[in-house]
Amino acid sequence: MEKLFLKVFFDKTMSRFINKKYEELTAYTPGEQPLGVKYVKLNTNESPYPPSPSVLVSIGYGELSDLRLYSDPDCRSLRAALGDFYGRSANEVFVSNGSDDILNFAFMAFSEKGVVFPDITYGFYEVYAKLHGAKYEKKPLCDDFSIKTEDYLDQNGKLIVLANPNAPTGIFKPLCEIEKILAANPDSVVLVDEAYIDFGGESALKLLDKYKNLLVVRTYSKSRSLAGARLGFAFADKEIIDDLSKIKFSTNPYSINRLTLIAGEAALKDGKYYEDNAKKIIETRAFVTEKLRAMGFEVVESAANFVLAGHDKISGSDFAEEMKKRGILIRHFSGERLEKYNRITIGTRAEMEAFLFAAEKIIG
């Protein structure tokens, strides 16, 4: 329903002035953001927990009064803080307006010879490829939804994009397999999108010293409870960071506002708060997985803050509609292989108990 609405909306507003190459562009469909009606919101992988105390107190009157001034386009203080936090040089850190911005810049900068990514993954990858006129190839996932390493070897300079853990499956690919891809593609930038890495798996950041072609992309939206602040960051060799910076400064150098920069730096001071929240989400994920399987659901083993689940008794789209009638939003994706599944964000224990109660009523 969301996708249809957006398509109709864009079709109606398409003018005769638009560049012809964008006429057939299919825009990314964001998860539903309801207004007015109160839902249990398990459809967009946001954190169910508020930002940390340091973030909440960091934005005071003095900072608000300085909104008359431009933000630091180099984001020097935040880059230095991120470098210290993760043990890297500030010259190896890039920050931008959400990780989507970084993905956009990477497609602009590194896709001249083409792009390769899985056929079931974050939908924005295909949108960016089309937006920038890059030739792209979607590699099919295995029957168990895992990524086949051999499909990404010897790509001859193409940009390789892998979400790890992948979305919407939640499956984590071991670093030894990521390293095989890096080693086999010295002339390709290998972008590892780690939006969900704090909920399971191991970051590819430890491979950065060994591979100059690695670009690790992270976000504050998931584990750091700042989806609304729009802040993403990345790590790579200085040359790749400089490439991204050139694109950023050629589009919008002030893309991160002053308050977001302050919030991003303050969040790093409360590391244990966010680690504890991630642990609670991991524990709740295990609880939900067990309960769903007991109801007869097939649940893909997840290392993210969501699960992908489906039941043979009902289609994924019908299940999502029934949930919405009961005041609970989950995410259904079109496509033959995903038809019976829904992606369910892990909320608080109380939210997930409400979801499970509704699921039991729907399944009968």
pLDDT digits (tens, 9 = 90+) for 219-233: 999 999 999 999 999
Please say if the pLDDT value at position 265 is more than 50: yes
> What's the pLDDT band for 61 if we cut at 50, 70, 90?
low
d(Cα 100, Cα 123) in Å, to the nearest integer? 11
How many contiguous H segments (helices) and E segments (strands) does the chain have?
A: 12, 12
Looking at residue 18, its pLDDT comes to 79
**Unique residue bearing structure tokens 């244990």:** 272
Report which residue type is found at 170. G
Q: Which stretch of 16-30, 53-67, 198-212 has the lowest confidence by average pLDDT?
A: 16-30
Given a contact cutoff of 8 angstroms between Cβ atoms, the answer to whether 319 and 311 are in contact is: yes
Q: Measuring CA to CA, which residue among 85, 97, 93, 346 is closest to residue 229?
A: 97
User: Residue 27: pLDDT above 90?
Assistant: no
Q: What is the mean pLDDT of residues 178-207?
A: 98
CB 333 within 8 A of CB 310: no
- For residues 288 and 352, the answer to whether their CB atoms sit within 8 Å is yes
pLDDT of residue 29: 79
pLDDT at 80 over 50: yes
Pseudo-torsion of CA 251, 253, 259, 260, nearest 10°? 60
The token duo for 328 is 């609970």
Q: Per-residue pLDDT for 262 more than 60?
A: yes
Task: Give the residue-averaged pLDDT of 324-335.
Answer: 94
Per cent of the chain over pLDDT 70 is 95
286, 326 contact by CB (below 8 A): no
Predicted pLDDT of residue 36: 67
pLDDT at residue 9 tops 60:
no
Residue type, 175: L
Dmax (CA) for the chain in angstroms is: 58
Taking the complete model, does pTM exceed 0.95, yes or no? no
Does residue 148 surpass a pLDDT of 50?
Answer: yes
Q: pLDDT at position 5, please?
A: 39
Question: Which tokens sit at 199?
Answer: 């909920």
Q: Is the pLDDT of residue 1 over 50?
A: no
- Rounded-to-integer distance, Cα 38 and Cα 55, Å: 26
User: Six-digit token pair at 15?
Assistant: 């003018």
Cis upstream peptide for 168 (omega within 30°): yes
Per-residue pLDDT for 335 more than 50? yes
pLDDT (average), residues 125-153: 97
How many C-beta atoms surround the C-beta of residue 159 within 10 A? 27
Q: Compute the average pLDDT of residues 178-201.
A: 98
What mean pLDDT comes out for the span 105-120? 98
CB-based contacts of 179, cutoff 8 Å, min separation 6: 207, 210, 211
Cα–Cα distance between 96 and 103 in angstroms, integer?
10
Q: What three-state secondary structure class fits 180?
A: helix
The answer, yes or no, to whether residue 211 has pLDDT greater than 60, is yes
